């Protein structure tokens, strides 16, 4: 029997999560452009990867390691992780990738000694809101007209994590 997601799509079996490299940027930019009305540029990802000392970037790849299917950019400052950007390629959505990838990011935060994870999300992004709530995030505030493209507010969400030493 093939496991199905709640939306009836076949769950994706194994995939790998690893640190993003410069070679991943074209695949990441493709997902970014398919996912957001105001996407980050290639140079933004390059900056985060090469110059921002607070940034940690990850990708999820297919089992064969040939295709980037998801990515995330986070900042670790003191004992907090801020998820700045996370997206799954549309072909791989509703197949369990986002849930498992977010779980990895939360586990990474805990392994870095962090006590909380925060993020912003558009109120219109019901799929993301559902994912974050399922992972235990709670809304703690609103940033008025946060998104410059639509002037939509951002819901600020927060998750408490139990810090632990890296394995």
Write out pLDDT tens, residues 82-137: 999 999 999 999 888 999 999 999 999 999 999 999 999 999 999 999 999 999 99
> Is 147 a residue of the active site?
no
| End-to-end Cα separation, the chain, in angstroms | 34
C-alpha span between 96 and 110 (Å, rounded): 21
Q: Catalogue all structural domains in the chain, each as residue range(s) with its CATH number.
A: 15-160 (3.40.630.30)
C-alpha span between 70 and 35 (Å, rounded): 11
Marked catalytic residue, from 116, 120, 146, 152: 120
Q: What is the pLDDT of residues 21-76, one digit of tens each?
A: 999 999 999 999 999 988 999 999 999 999 999 999 999 998 876 889 999 999 99
> Is 54 a residue of the active site?
no
111's enclosing H/E stretch is helix 97-111
Task: Evaluate if residue 9 carries a pLDDT over 70.
Answer: no
Contacts of 51 (CB under 8 A, 6+ apart): none
Cα torsion 93, 102, 22, 36: sign: positive
C-alpha span between 41 and 47 (Å, rounded): 10
Marked catalytic residue, from 32, 48, 92, 132: 132
């Amino acid at each position: 029997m093939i496991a199905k997601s709640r939306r009836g799509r076949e769950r994706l079996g194994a995939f790998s999560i690893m640190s993003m490299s410069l070679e991943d940027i074209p695949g990441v930019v493709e997902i970014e452009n398919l996912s957001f009305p105001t996407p980050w540029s290639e140079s933004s990802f390059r900056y985060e990867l090469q110059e921002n000392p607070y940034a940690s970037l990850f990708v999820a790849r297919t089992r064969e390691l040939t295709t980037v299917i998801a990515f995330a950019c986070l900042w670790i400052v003191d004992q907090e992780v801020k998820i700045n950007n996370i997206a799954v390629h549309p072909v791989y959505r509703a197949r369990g990738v986002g849930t498992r990838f977010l779980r990895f990011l939360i586990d990474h935060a805990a392994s870095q000694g962090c006590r909380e994870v925060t993020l912003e999300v558009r109120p219109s992004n019901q799929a993301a809101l559902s994912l974050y709530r399922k992972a235990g995030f709670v809304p703690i505030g609103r940033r008025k007209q946060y998104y410059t493209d639509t002037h939509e507010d951002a819901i600020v969400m927060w998750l408490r994590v139990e810090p632990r030493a890296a394995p």
